[in-house]
């Protein structure tokens, strides 16, 4: 349980950090590998790159929700909460001269969260059906 909270906190912290660095060029962030920076900095991936960390956050929280047998209300609240994280990250960019607020990024954060939750649910249901325990 602690590992889940740690991973989610690290993921959210990473989203905020990368959203609030002064320059959106990920090639300038010291810990981002070149192959990731090249992909994220490509113009074609500008908005899509926002979805990636949210897919992982959705996966982690989805597995946790499934294992605790939480109701659909929890799943929906998690989706809204993760999308809210994207909105907060975007709102923080309003006052930054080289960053800009983007409704599309909030949408991509929501899409990534939904996909992560969906894959987690489907994967856990499949494992349950196959009688594989984690």
**For residue 7, pLDDT beyond 70:** yes
Q: Which residue has the higher pLDDT, 24 or 12?
A: 12
**For residue 134, pLDDT beyond 70:** no
Q: State the Cα–Cα distance between residues 103 and 64, nearest whole angstrom.
A: 29
Residue 50: DSSP 8-state: G
For residue 58, what pLDDT is reported? 98
Q: How far is CA 58 from CA 26, 73, 99, 104, in A?
A: 22, 15, 25, 18
The pair of structure tokens assigned to 71 is: 């109701």
96 phi, psi to nearest 5 deg: -95, 125
CB 20 within 8 A of CB 81: no
- Digit-coded pLDDT (tens) for 85-112: 999 999 999 989 989 899 999 999 999 9
pTM: 0.89
Q: How confident is the model at residue 10 (pLDDT cuts 50, 70, 90)?
A: very high
25 phi, psi to nearest 5 deg: -75, 110
CB 40 within 8 A of CB 105: no
């Amino acid at each position: 349980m602690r590992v889940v909270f740690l991973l989610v906190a690290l993921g959210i912290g990473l989203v905020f950090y990368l959203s609030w660095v002064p320059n959106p060029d990920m090639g300038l962030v010291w810990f981002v590998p070149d192959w990731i920076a090249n992909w994220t900095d490509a113009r074609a991936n500008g908005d899509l790159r926002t979805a990636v960390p949210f897919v992982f956050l959705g996966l982690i929280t989805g597995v946790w929700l499934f294992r605790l047998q939480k109701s659909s209300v929890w799943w929906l609240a998690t989706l809204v909460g993760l999308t809210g994280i994207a909105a907060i990250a975007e709102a923080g960019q309003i006052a930054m001269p080289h960053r800009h607020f983007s409704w599309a990024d909030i949408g991509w954060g929501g899409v990534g969260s939904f996909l992560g939750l969906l894959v987690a649910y489907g994967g856990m249901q499949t494992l349950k059906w196959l009688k594989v325990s984690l």
